[in-house]
Amino acid sequence: MNSKTADRLATGVFIAIAIIIISILVGLFSFILINGLKHVSLHFLTTPSSNVMAGGGIRDQLFNSFYVLIITMLITIPLGLGGGIYMAEYAKPGKVTDTIRSCIEVLASLPSIVIGMFGLLMFVNLTGWGYTILGGALALTVFNLPVLVRVSEDAIRAVPRDLKEASLALGITHWHTIKTVILPSAFPSILTGAILAAGRVFGEAAALLFTAGLSTPRLDYTNWNPFSDQSPLNIFRPAETLAVHIWSVNTQGLIPDVEEVSNGSAAVLVLSVLLCNLLARWIGSMIHKKITATK
């Protein structure tokens, strides 16, 4: 076969590959949304789940997913920001910086099940807490932190150098420059990265299996005292999240309507992640417009 034919054939193959990839996505999404959305109703979202009977909802799991996400972000965002500032502004090239980068790389690539095991060891057994929201959040911090450090570092490095020099040349200290000139400029990118990271955390299950647990105690949503056992705000209680719930009803559960519940939960999960992605993109394009319009 001559080269022209081969070229045409190859082009065809590549187009086919692109089509395959797109079809996979379209197929997956349609399946999830078509099968799932019909089960998602206000009732579904606000009814507590059931372990044995049909008709259970995902109220507690949904709340837990959000709450664990919030706690995780509360821990990782300041730490990630601090780490990113350090790497971008203070770290000098050398052994120590290389070590930190290696640590970031290691933490980012550990399988989530391994992190879950570490969480089990440290935050469940060693501390004696048992399954807790805090334990789950700390486990999630382990692999969310490198992401946020990288996001912050990249965003800070992207701020043009002459802005920093302008501030320093006016007799402003380094830290104040970071606080008032660099961070505000880097903020939109950091926000975008944080929202994307939140989307990933929301769908995480393996790390929470052994740390936040597979159950939720009876919750009283009118009780806002975080120290009470029945309050949903108590971070020292076990909390099955939505993603974990999908897994457990399919592998351990006995409920007869497992498919309906799973489909509905999957739809909610995927939609939430999709929303995060869209939000991040929207903010990203708004920033882009702002920067390019005024210059």
Touching other proteins, residues 267-286 (CB under 8 A): 269-270, 273-274, 276-277
Nearer to other proteins, 18 or 70 (CB): 18
Single residue of 25, 70, 74, 158 touching other proteins by CB under 8 A: 25
Assess contact for 137 and 175: CB atoms under 8 A: no
Stretch near other proteins under the rule CB under 8 A, chosen from 13-21, 54-62, 186-194, 215-223 = 13-21
Q: Which residue is listed with tokens 């790390």?
A: 207
Single residue of 28, 70, 74, 254 touching other proteins by CB under 8 A: 28
Tell me the residue length of the chain. Answer: 295
Both structure tokens of 28: 């997956």
Does 170 bind other proteins (CB under 8 A)? Our answer is: yes
The conformation of residue 91, written as its DSSP 8-state character, comes to: P
Nearer to other proteins, 43 or 281 (CB): 281
Question: Helix, strand or coil for residue 210?
Answer: coil
Single residue of 48, 111, 130, 256 touching other proteins by CB under 8 A: 111
Both structure tokens of 65: 């997913």
Q: Which residue is listed with tokens 């150098």?
A: 161
Contacts of residue 141, defined as CB under 8 A and 6 or more positions apart, other chains included, come to: 72, 75, 76, 79
Site for other proteins in 230-249 (CB under 8 A): 243-244, 246-247
Single residue of 49, 61, 112, 192 touching other proteins by CB under 8 A: 112
Does 289 bind other proteins (CB under 8 A)? Our answer is: no
Does 55 bind other proteins (CB under 8 A)? Our answer is: no
Site for other proteins in 188-217 (CB under 8 A): 199-200, 202-206, 209-210, 214
Nearer to other proteins, 10 or 53 (CB): 10
Least separation in angstroms between residue 133's CB and other proteins is 18
Single residue of 37, 45, 168, 287 touching other proteins by CB under 8 A: 168
Nearer to other proteins, 207 or 231 (CB): 207
Does 58 bind other proteins (CB under 8 A)? Our answer is: no
Please tell me the distance from the alpha carbon of residue 266 to that of residue 246, in angstroms, as a whole number.
Answer: 7
Helices (H), the chain: 3-37, 42-46, 59-85, 95-109, 112-119, 133-158, 161-169, 174-177, 183-202, 206-209, 242-251, 258-294
Single residue of 34, 53, 54, 163 touching other proteins by CB under 8 A: 163
Site for other proteins in 78-107 (CB under 8 A): 79-83, 85-87, 89-93, 99-100, 103-107
Please tell me the distance from the alpha carbon of residue 247 to that of residue 50, in angstroms, as a whole number.
Answer: 14
Please tell me the distance from the alpha carbon of residue 57 to that of residue 50, in angstroms, as a whole number.
Answer: 7
Please tell me the distance from the alpha carbon of residue 183 to that of residue 85, in angstroms, as a whole number.
Answer: 9
